[in-house]
Amino acid sequence: MNAFKTNGKTVVITGSNRGIGAALTNEFLKQNWQVFGGVRRPSSDRQMQAGAAYQEFQIDVQDSNSVNNAFAKLREDFHSRGSSLDLLINNAGVYEDAEANFTEISEQALFKSFDVNAMGAMRVTKAALSLLLAAPQPLVANVSSLMGSISDNTGGGSYAYRMSKAALNMFTKSFSIDYPQIASVVLHPGWVKTEMGGPNAPTSTEDSARGLVKLLTTAKLKSLSGRFFDFEGDEISW
């Protein structure tokens, strides 16, 4: 990976090739961050369009070997440049049971939801831990959903998605306690116009990303660690 001029800040974003992940990537690039985008299928065309400040790498958050291999290569690159990881955004996620009622949910949908949405974030955070600990003010941001809030659930349904996001929230809370030197937050990007959110969603990916990046780059993050926020900076109850 070639060296290039940035503001000195580095972020890794999983699922950077579409939806919220792509919008976050674009917003961080506008603010001159060095962005490493993790995707299952890297694209040379996407890499060329984004420019040198964006480096895409292959990762499947469901596969421990894929995650470990990806971060082994990233560590080599970071160490060669004497840099560390300022921000990890676990954004990759799935919504397997959007239309299914309780009696229709398959075990496969449940297992995949937990594997990607909760365990995937844990795998990536574990693999990135040494890079984060080397940073002066490291941050882990896990993209969850208001649908993972137990107290906000008044509509029922979406069992696999809700349960897996609630598990992601609990992971974040525990991690924030075990690693107080790393600020850790849960993010609700809003109901966003993406493949997952659908065309009727009221929030654009650009607006969501601008709000999330503002929160992640201007807030006193140590005081916010272990908490849950939406893209407008408002705290959400568990």
- Tokens read off for 133: 């600990």
CB 135, CB 85: distance < 8 Å = yes
- Give the residue among 120, 122, 100, 94 at the shortest CA–CA distance from 195: 94
Kindly state the percentage of the chain with pLDDT values over 90. 78
C-beta neighbour count of 1 within 10 angstroms: 15
Plot region of 173 (φ>0 → left; ψ -120 to 50 → alpha; else → beta): alpha
Enclosing domain of residue 98: 10-230
What pLDDT, on a 0 to 100 scale, did the predictor assign at position 47?
77
In a domain, 236, yes or no: no
In a domain, 132, yes or no: yes
Beta strands in 174-217 (DSSP E): 183-188
CB-based burial label for 170 (10 Å; 0-12, 13-18, 19+): middle
Q: How far apart are CA 169 and CA 180, in angstroms?
A: 16
**196: domain CATH number?**
3.40.50.720
pLDDT tens-digit readout, 51-105 = 789 999 999 999 999 999 999 999 999 998 888 999 999 999 999 987 788 999 9
What pLDDT, on a 0 to 100 scale, did the predictor assign at position 165?
98
In a domain, 184, yes or no: yes
Sheet holding 227-230, edge to edge: 54-58, 34-39, 10-14, 87-90, 139-143, 183-188, 227-230
pLDDT tens-digit readout, 18-41 = 999 999 999 999 999 999 999 999
In a domain, 92, yes or no: yes
Structural domains in the chain (count):
1
- Give the residue among 7, 64, 14, 69 at the shortest CA–CA distance from 38: 14
Give pairs for 131-136: CB < 8 Å, separation 24+. Answer: 131/71, 131/74, 131/75, 131/78, 131/84, 131/85, 132/84, 132/85, 132/88, 132/182, 133/181, 133/182, 134/84, 134/85, 135/84, 135/85, 135/86, 136/84
In a domain, 29, yes or no: yes
In a domain, 90, yes or no: yes
**Model confidence band, residue 46 (pLDDT cutoffs 50, 70, 90):** confident
